[in-house]
Each structure stands twice: as structure tokens, then as C-alpha cells.
Structure 1
């Protein structure tokens, strides 16, 4: 999300030219899919982790520029808020020790970054929403300096025609308004990438949609926002509302939101790109001079820059990705469901579970999505975001079942099979999936631990802000100890 932009104002002619170019990109993509021009023989996987910055008192530290300068590592990038960073892991092949390599490289990078950030008066925290954020951190002064963010915020608010409205009800209720998209910056996630062929894409995307609820139930880690206890994974309703360009009237008309679970199982990656072009106007109508058809007919790979930029402003929880690496085009499923944290051990366990489970389901002889309605998958998704590790979900052949019971009885064995199919060493996959098993047995994840800890402090007579600060201080210490969250007292 850190790409630089040049244009700050757009004319009607700019928007018309951009729409035409996006549609030309879409036609070229369709031809590339027909002609099987994509690299997928030895697929890679990838990871991105978004981080928060806090000061010594566990309050947001608006210092990402200084911290990035001190880290001096291109793997770290800005994010929307001055209290955010992102680290991009080098892509890996799971069958070549990729899980272990991800874990070792990320731990080393984050430990080094923490040391350098501390010298700038800041500390890294992996958590879905920083619990100590307050309303003062939701204003334009907290936007990162990259002009893309200001432009994106201005375009969303202009399209909406009024301030953003946040209204989330859980154990407590939060209502707020914002003149920028800064509430989006409160959401920090772990993003998992799976490279696939065009033929494999529908199965991997459908499988990712089907298991998104299970990921949320197991990995929920954002129960507080602006001092209120809300959903166990508050990132979900917050992100849905923080980038919503629709007025109340457009919502009533059934206009689709830009943060979108989707509405059907797919049979081609083209379905998703075509929906994005058909349903959503451009927020950043920036157009370059490349003629994608001429590039393709010259034997080269078109960048499809306008289609990719447009796709990046539609926030599907499982996003289709077209990319070009070293001149070769490839396709990915970008899984955007999980919160960051609580520890690197937990993060890697979540990744292993996803990579294994989605592989097993995508290659199953009887697809799960042929037995389950899409609306059931979406209902599961929001139920798991609300209830976290205590969620009950619908599953074919089982009916309504506690998510942890479903994982223990059915999904963990499938994840083990899937990781074996990727070629992951058994000791590597076994260690990480054991963390998932123990988390289910303990029925404790980041969100449930944090809520319990805050309640404990409040029962001692402290106010909510003091309780959130104390719990976050302890959380950060435990995060760096890297003992999985199911072991936390």
C-alpha cells in the first residue's frame, strides 16, 4: 500500500481515459488466461505483517518515518498511519523448508527492527488493533507522509460525500465519525500469499473463502477499539466501515461495498477482476502510456498497471492478484483475513494451518463449496469475527459446530495432509500445527487473553485506559518472549 503517486487532482477526462484503459487491461488479461501465459510450475508462498508502534507507556508512537530511517531495510515499508509499519517477507517454497525460513528470517528482522526502533523511542507490537488508540489518533495529522494515503483518503471521502461513520456493537457499542480514512490505519493484519495457475485459482480462492471463518475464530486478536470492548476481531467491521464510499441511500439500493466478502463461488480468476471493474469506480484514476496489447503481441509481459491499481483499492478478504516478477506474469490468492500477532510462533502456526488446509481442500475430489452455500460461508465469517474462539459455524456433514471442535476433529488432519502435499518436512509442520491444536484445547487466543486480562485489572479497581495500557505492556513482553498465546496465564 506504499506505492508513490504523482497526480493529486483528476478531471472528468482523466476518469474516462482511465476507465477505457482498465477495460483494455481486462481484455488483455482474458487473452493471457486463454493462452496460459502464467508461471506456476514451482509455486511460491509469501507473507506480509503489519505492525504498530508504541512508546514506553504503550501509547501510539507517531514515528514511522524515523523508525524506517533507523531500520534502513527495504523489507520494511510505511503503512497508512504514522504508528504503522509493514514487513514483507521474501517469498518461499514450502517444500524447501519455507515455513522454517519464514520464521527465522522474520524473527531476525523484527528483533533487529525492535532494537533500532527503541533507539527512536518506539517499540513494535503485533496486534490486530492497538488497544490504546484514542480519538486523537484518528485525524489527518496521523496520516503517513506518502501522498498516496492523503489522495486515497480524499477520494474515498469525496466519493462518499460525507464523513465516515463507525458504528460497531459487541459487548459494548462504539459510534464515531471521521473526516479521513484513518480508522482503517487501526487495522493491522497478516497477509498470506499462494501462487497458483489460472486453472487452480478458483479452487484455492473458494477454499480460502470457506475457511476464512475458521481462521478468524482461531486467530482473533483485536477486541478493543477506542476504549470499547467490541468484536473479538473488530478489524472486520471496522475495515468494512472505514473504507465505505457508499452513502446510506446507496447502501439501501444494494450497491456493493469496497470491503467485500463477495457474493458467489467462482469458476475463474477473471470473474473477480471483471466484477471489480463492473461494480466499482476508480478511486485513483492514474493512467500510464503502456499499450498492453502491443506489449503482449511483442512477446513481452504487460504490467496492466491500471487494473492492478484498481484491484488494490477493492478490499476483498481474499484478493485476486496479478503480478509480474522478473518479466514473468503470475497469479496469487492474497489471504487478508488474519490479524497480526500475538507472537511470531502463533503467526507461523496460523500460516501453516492456512497453507495446509487450503491445499487439501483445493485438491479434494469433492469440493467443499459444492456442499455449502456461499451465504453460509459469509455468515460463518461474521459469526467468527464477533465471537472469536467461542464461535459456532456451519459445516457440511456436521451442521452447527464449535469452531475449535471442527478444527480438532476434521481440519487439523486435513492441514497436515496439505502441508505434506506441499512437501513440508513433518517435524516442521507438526510443531506449528501442534500450536493450533493446543490453542483449541485451551480455547485461548489473543483476543480472549486480552479481554480476560483487561477484566482482571478492572476488577482491581483501575479504569479502562489504565487496564488497556497494563494489558498491552504485558502483551508486548510476552510477544517478544515468543511463547504461543495458549500458554499465557
Structure 2
């Protein structure tokens, strides 16, 4: 995730100095473009694999730094969170067996990472958003302990000037507020690079902007966040909102967010985008190693343009322009950032082949797109595809009305991709094998996102939501190791979560989160009716901001009716009878410890509190359910073991 050799912009003078460096770099790039210094071929491709680390309980496991130290391979590097890693794959000439080489190298490196992770009872997982991620994992305690990430968090928080607000709506709704942008660490992707000759950049970039929507419809794999069914590619909404630095008080201003699809077509060159970066986005980080890029050019050398690339690295276009140097020659690339990690290595390589084939096979009639389609419609296509996946209908140049995603992909884009791969002289067997994966996925409608939604809904009928998320994560891992593409996957059963210890290891995995609560001033009669009509025995009492104040149990109500007259009862509120000497747990409390607390304090429930707020509740009924699960385990059916379970619940 970028270079560690950066500094935080702390003052106006810092910003002025950094801006002068950036302007020098921009002028140097302009001169190099004018002088024809950029590489025009042969075409190279590349990829970056982001991934998650999970423990035996299928929860995020923060062992990135330890695994990296054990691997000792520079191709592995850090990501924002300690439960993520990134693999940088070798650049390849876009010809022959390039995709077979890419696939073999990725498998080899993943195996290397898996071997290192086993030491920590962990494994690697490819998925756009890990299903078992929860709010405790978004604490800055999980952030990778490197200055670059600290600087970025601080800069984004300072620029925002307040909390980050999140609101994503799908089948469910997820609303949250956080004081930092670390939540972007939920996202993992498979980023693919395509080298472009300068004279073709504008048309190729615009083409990339047009095809990104149907590409996403076919490759979506991130439909869940915190157990909520949101967009088919929720990463898009989450990343945009997690780095949105725009001031809500300036609503009349049409400011551009740092994560962006863009505001218009490119008319002339890559400089359109780099200038836009400088003109619309404040510099957050600057390189420590200063470079006079114009002087470097005068000396006949190629400048690294560190100021330009550092600033570009803090602006997250879904199609990002990139500058680099290979074998002493500068080049331009387009980095596709919208494809998610997973579901399998084969799916990812097929996705890459589909995109790269389309890029290389762009028909001439798609040049000068700014004359053929309103950019707002391309933008609309992008967000509708992120939301709806393969059920999207697209606005498309030369097509009246809208065209269904499946029809567009199967009848027009796959043939273009095939032609592009043939132009690049990619091996015929790889073309057939990889594009058939896309074709069958689109025909069946079973993208990674669709499989996850169907699997999650099936699993929720067999257990709690948290059990379903655990089983879903386990099922993804199992199928990923087999390696068959996602359109062939069968739906899982709850047993795939493993034994009861993995499914119920922490309170978070089975606590109730759809709560009936009262406020301190609510009449007791409301609490009575809540318990009666919902068949519950405990009602937490909380302030309107979610701060836990007390709890009312069925025992409390028995005393209430025994000790007060009807006239007295009518005047009393929840605060008058609630129990305030509370025993609470956190979502990460071990189940065994929670059982001990119930026994020690002779209580029937434990409110679950996170960051001072009520987030759930576990009751003795929940533990009876766990005991029943345990007793069904074949390895736990001895009299001695059964007696131990019963003692734990007495």
C-alpha cells in the first residue's frame, strides 16, 4: 500500500513546499510526453493480490507482521490492517503464456504464505470483504504499526474535520459513525495493471471507464458487511464513504471525493488526470526523499516523480493512472482497482483475462467516447452495477434504451476480449479456459456475490446469524482450496463452520443483536408488554445514545408486582426498578468465561458492551442452545463430558 518513505504535511509552509515539488513533477511529465520519452511497447501487465488472514475460529487474525517476518520475501508486503497482506506479482509481457505464469506464481506465493501462517494457527483467504469482520476489528489496535498508515489516518481525520458517516442500503441497511477511516481495511481486491502508450491513453482510459461497470457486474464478490446484505460489490460504497473528506456544510459545492469514479471523460492525455489530482485534492503526504525532477531531466536521466506518485497514491480512482519506470524507460499504466479478491485464484485470473482482453481489443468505434455517451450515464452504470450485479441494465453507446448486463457481456464484450487476447498472441488454451469461466459464470448468474447471498440466507435457517457468517467463511476457504470456479460451487451447510468451539468460541458469535430495549423514563408497563409479547425475560435499559443504564429481568418484575400497589405501579418508570449493579461482557469475551460469570453472580443474562454502548445480549437460554450443540458432537458424548457441560450451566 505505497511507500513507507513519506512524511505528513503538518503546516501551510509544508504544503507549499510539497505543492512546488508536485508542480515540478507535473512539468517534468509534460516535457517527457512532449519529447516522446515514454515506452510505447511491448505491452506489459501486472497484478497485486490483497488478502485476509483468519484464525481457527474464522475471525480476522492480526498476524501480518509476524508472517511477513517469517516469509522474508519482498513480494509480500503490508496492508492497512494487521489481518491483511498484499502480494506484488511480477510484471509480465502480455503475450504467450502470461496468464499461466501469473496463475502459477500466485498459487506458489499463496502456498508460501499459508505455510508461514500455520505457525500462528491461521490461514489466508481471498474475499472482497471478510464475512466475520465485526466492529471490534475496526479498532486502531488492529492497524499495521507503520508510520505511513498512522500519517494517513491522521491526515484524513484532520482534513475531514469530524466523524466519518456511513450509510449503505441494500436488502438491509448499515449505518455507522466513526472517528477515523480505518474501516477501509475491510476491503481487499485483486488489482490489475495494463501498460498503455501515451498516444492511446485518453481513448484507452475512457474505454476502461465504460467497461468497468459490466466488468464489475460479472466479478462482484462483496455483498456482506457486518452481517448486512448490502450492495453486490459493497467495497465501492464503503471505500468511497471511508475517505470522503468533503465538508457537509459546503453542500452547494460540487467537490470531488478522494475515492472517485471521476467527473468527466479524458480529452487529451494522462495529464488531464494528474492535473485534476493537483487542482482538486489537497496534498496529505509527501516523499521524504526530495527530487528536483526538472534538473534530473536536464542531466539526461529519468526522474522518479516521487511527489506526483505519492499524491496520486492518496487519490483512489477506480481506474487509476500510474507512472513507472521499467528497464530505465518511463511508462504509463492503467490500474483497475474495482475487482475484488477471490472467490478463487482461477476466478481472479479469468477476471484479469476478461479485462485485459477488452482493453487490448478496444474497437475503433469506441474512440472519442466523449462524443458518444454522456459521462453521467457511464457513472450511473458503475454505481448500478456495484449495487445490482448481473441484474443491471446499462446505457451503452449506439444502443437505444438500456441493455441487460448478461446480454452485453455475452454478445459484445466477451468477443471483444477474445479478439484482444488473440491480438496479444495469448495461448489459445488459456483464452478458451479463462473466458469460458466468465461465460459460464454470467450465463448461470452465480457470481461470488450471488453465491454468498444465497449461502448466507440458507445458513441463517440452520443457525444464528453469527453461526451463518462463520460457516460461510469456512465454506469459502474450503472451496477456495479446491480451486474450482465459483459458478460451480454448491451451497454450504452450517456444519462447515466446524465443531462447536469454532462456532461459539466468543460471545460475539451467538449474542442477540436485534434487541428490545427501554429508556430510563419509559413506563414499566411498556417493559411488561415487551416481555410478554416477545417471550423474553430480560430488557436492557439504555439512554438514547446507546449507553447502558440497567436491566430489568422477569425476577425484577415479580418483585415489582409483589412490593407495589397498582396505583404506585402506574407512576413508576424503568429507572425506578432496573438493576444497575451490572455484570457485562464484550463481544470478544470467551464463551467459557461468560458461563463462569453467570455461575459466579447467579444471573440470567449478560449485556454485551462495546465502546461504552450496548451492542447485544446473551442469556442462559443461549447457553442451553450451545450445550445442545455440544451434546450432539460425537466426540463429546461421554458421561463425564456431558456432566461437565451440565455443571457449567447450573
Equivalent in the alignment of 2:338: 337
Q: How does 1:74-473 map to 2 (within 5 A)?
A: 74-266=74-266, 267-286=268-287, 288-361=289-362, 363-367=363-367, 369=369, 370-398=371-399, 399-460=401-462, 462-473=463-474
Which whole-Å CA distance do the structure 2 matches of 1:251 and 1:416 have between them?
45
Equivalent in the alignment of 2:576: none
1:304-323 residue CA offsets vs partner (Å, 9 max, x unmatched): 11111001100000011111
After TM superposition, give the deviation of residue 334 of structure 1 in Å: 0.7
Equivalent in the alignment of 2:625: none
Q: Structure 1 8/277 Cα, relative in aligned 2: closer, same or farther at 3 Å?
A: closer
Which whole-Å CA distance do the structure 2 matches of 1:342 and 1:172 have between them?
23
Greater relative contact order (CA < 8 Å, ≥ 6 in sequence): 1
Which whole-Å CA distance do the structure 2 matches of 1:134 and 1:122 have between them?
18
Which whole-Å CA distance do the structure 2 matches of 1:144 and 1:253 have between them?
35
Give the secondary structure class of the aligned counterpart of 2:198: coil
Which whole-Å CA distance do the structure 1 matches of 2:251 and 2:182 have between them?
22
1:231-282 residue CA offsets vs partner (Å, 9 max, x unmatched): 1100000000111111212344111100111111112101000110111110
Identify which range, 331-340 or 281-290, moves more after superposition. Answer: 281-290
Matched residues, number: 487
CA RMSD of aligned residues (A): 1.4
After TM superposition, give the deviation of residue 73 of structure 1 in Å: 1.5
Give the secondary structure class of the aligned counterpart of 1:195: strand
1:347-394 residue CA offsets vs partner (Å, 9 max, x unmatched): 011000000111122x52442724222111110100010011222222
Which whole-Å CA distance do the structure 2 matches of 1:138 and 1:92 have between them?
36
Q: Structure 1 382/366 Cα, relative in aligned 2: closer, same or farther at 3 Å?
A: closer
After TM superposition, give the deviation of residue 2 of structure 1 in Å: 4.1
Which whole-Å CA distance do the structure 2 matches of 1:327 and 1:95 have between them?
22
Which whole-Å CA distance do the structure 2 matches of 1:293 and 1:287 have between them?
18
Contact 2:38 2:332 in 1 (8 A): yes
Which whole-Å CA distance do the structure 1 matches of 2:329 and 2:80 have between them?
30
Identify which range, 391-400 or 217-226, moves more after superposition. Answer: 391-400
Contact 2:6 2:285 in 1 (8 A): no
Which whole-Å CA distance do the structure 2 matches of 1:320 and 1:96 have between them?
26
Q: Give me the TM-score of the superposition, normalised by structure 2.
A: 0.73
Which whole-Å CA distance do the structure 2 matches of 1:139 and 1:179 have between them?
10
Equivalent in the alignment of 2:11: 11
Give the secondary structure class of the aligned counterpart of 2:286: coil
1:151-197 residue CA offsets vs partner (Å, 9 max, x unmatched): 10100000010121111111111111222221110011111101111
Which whole-Å CA distance do the structure 1 matches of 2:75 and 2:286 have between them?
28
| 5+ long unaligned stretches in structure 2 | 491-650
Give the secondary structure class of the aligned counterpart of 1:352: helix
Q: Structure 1 3/288 Cα, relative in aligned 2: closer, same or farther at 3 Å?
A: closer
Contact 2:9 2:284 in 1 (8 A): no
Q: Structure 1 252/122 Cα, relative in aligned 2: closer, same or farther at 3 Å?
A: farther
Equivalent in the alignment of 1:20: 20
After TM superposition, give the deviation of residue 203 of structure 1 in Å: 1.8
Which whole-Å CA distance do the structure 1 matches of 2:382 and 2:243 have between them?
19
Which whole-Å CA distance do the structure 2 matches of 1:392 and 1:342 have between them?
24
Contact 2:207 2:366 in 1 (8 A): no
Q: Give me the TM-score of the superposition, normalised by structure 1.
A: 0.97
Which whole-Å CA distance do the structure 1 matches of 2:426 and 2:374 have between them?
32
Give the secondary structure class of the aligned counterpart of 1:200: helix
Q: Structure 1 284/250 Cα, relative in aligned 2: closer, same or farther at 3 Å?
A: farther
Contact 2:51 2:86 in 1 (8 A): yes
Which whole-Å CA distance do the structure 2 matches of 1:296 and 1:330 have between them?
15
Which whole-Å CA distance do the structure 2 matches of 1:13 and 1:381 have between them?
39
Q: Structure 1 66/251 Cα, relative in aligned 2: closer, same or farther at 3 Å?
A: farther
Greater C-alpha Rg: 2
Contact 1:389 1:448 in 2 (8 A): no
Which whole-Å CA distance do the structure 2 matches of 1:6 and 1:382 have between them?
33
Give the secondary structure class of the aligned counterpart of 2:279: helix
After TM superposition, give the deviation of residue 103 of structure 1 in Å: 0.6
